[in-house]
Amino acid sequence: MLSVISVPGLLAALLLAAGPASADELVIAVAANFTAPVKRIAADFERDTGHKVLASFGATGKFYAQIRNGAPFEVLLAADDETPAKLLRENQAVAGSQFTYALGKLVLWSAQPGLVDAAGAVLQRGAFAHLSLADPKLAPYGAAGMQAMQALGVYDALQSKLVTAENIGQAYQFVSSGNAELGFVALSQVLKDGKIDGSSWLVPSHLYATIRQDAVLLERGREHPAALAWMRYLKGDKARAVIRSYGYEIP
């Protein structure tokens, strides 16, 4: 079964270990928006290969800093394509291993039925107290939300209402808990069995830069059989079917 562990807990456990993870144990860093899909993919991967997956979920920007500081991850599933490319340039990742595993979609969502209209006009009206947004400096989906507001000409007017989350997972939690009436989240977080509870607006893709989510094999996983197997598995038909089921596109 997939083991989910907090970043501090993972780092404490693995950095204190005498050596690298065992041959059948894989340590991955996963962008928060991809939490639900990766849990399903990892469960299939473990059944099909016998390898075990240890996963941490968070903001891509924070993972970048942790990897640079020696965090023991073997694979990064980022929420952008820039961070894996940067790690490659800095010799922190394996040349030729970067590929796009998903194209993300941004949604303006509220747990309250009827609050968010099908055209996103709620942003112009501003009849709400708090709007959740992942930190644009760390989270690509947060940057996409900011770009969308800027394109609509409402960013300046809404700045005082923004509740900045550490990552897209926390942005979702703020809205689902009612601490923010609405927020920008990933479609994959709210799409369940083809439906979205509450109210939502699928933000038109021309309002934000394409969210190209790339995977990359990190140097620690260069010769690790489980890491290499994971990278192959993520490109397979079974994993791609799961990814599509959560509303992502695959190039």
CB 173 within 8 A of CB 111: no
CB 67 within 8 A of CB 41: no
Residue 216 lies in a domain: yes
**Tens digits of residue pLDDT in 34-51:** 999 999 999 999 999 999
Could you tell me if 215 and 98 lie in one domain?
yes
Residue 251 lies in a domain: no
Could you tell me if 47 and 123 lie in one domain?
no
Output the CA–CA distances (angstroms, integers) from residue 85 to 1, 23, 117, 146, in the order listed: 31, 27, 37, 23
Q: Which two tokens mark 69?
A: 């500081």
Could you tell me if 91 and 19 lie in one domain?
yes
Residue 250 lies in a domain: no
- Give percent of the chain above pLDDT 70: 91
Query: What is the CATH classification number for the domain harbouring 131?
Result: 3.40.190.10
Q: Is the pTM for the entire model greater than 0.95?
A: no
How would you class 24 by CB atoms within 10 Å of its CB: exposed for 0-12, middle for 13-18, buried for 19 or more?
Answer: middle
Could you tell me if 67 and 111 lie in one domain?
no
In terms of residue numbers, what domain contains 126?
106-202
Residue 36 lies in a domain: yes
Residue 45 lies in a domain: yes
**Tens digits of residue pLDDT in 91-149:** 999 999 999 999 999 999 999 999 999 999 999 999 999 999 999 999 999 999 999 99
Residue 193's DSSP bridge partners are none
Could you tell me if 221 and 132 lie in one domain?
no
Per-residue pLDDT for 20 more than 50? Answer: no
Question: What is the count of structural domains for the chain?
Answer: 2
Specify the higher pLDDT residue, 23 or 247. 247
Could you tell me if 96 and 111 lie in one domain?
no
Q: What is the pLDDT of residue 16?
A: 38
Could you tell me if 96 and 121 lie in one domain?
no
Could you tell me if 118 and 59 lie in one domain?
no
Q: What is the pLDDT of residue 9?
A: 57
Question: Is residue 15 very low, low, confident or very high in pLDDT (cuts 50, 70, 90)?
Answer: very low
Specify the higher pLDDT residue, 140 or 11. 140
Dihedral, CA atoms, 251, 68, 226, 4, nearest 10 degrees?
-90
How would you class 147 by CB atoms within 10 Å of its CB: exposed for 0-12, middle for 13-18, buried for 19 or more?
Answer: middle
Could you tell me if 123 and 191 lie in one domain?
yes
Could you tell me if 88 and 165 lie in one domain?
no
Per-residue pLDDT for 12 more than 50? Answer: no
Question: Is residue 243 very low, low, confident or very high in pLDDT (cuts 50, 70, 90)?
Answer: very high
Could you tell me if 237 and 158 lie in one domain?
no
Q: What is the pLDDT of residue 193?
A: 87
Could you tell me if 197 and 110 lie in one domain?
yes
Q: What is the pLDDT of residue 5?
A: 60
Residue 222 lies in a domain: yes
Per-residue pLDDT for 23 more than 90? Answer: no
Q: Could you write out the DSSP letters of every residue in 125-194?
A: H---S-EEEE-TTT-HHHHHHHHHHHHHT-HHHHGGGEEEESSHHHHHHHHHTTSSSEEEEEHHHHEETT
Q: Tokens 């690509």 belong to which residue?
A: 140
Q: What is the pLDDT of residue 251?
A: 87
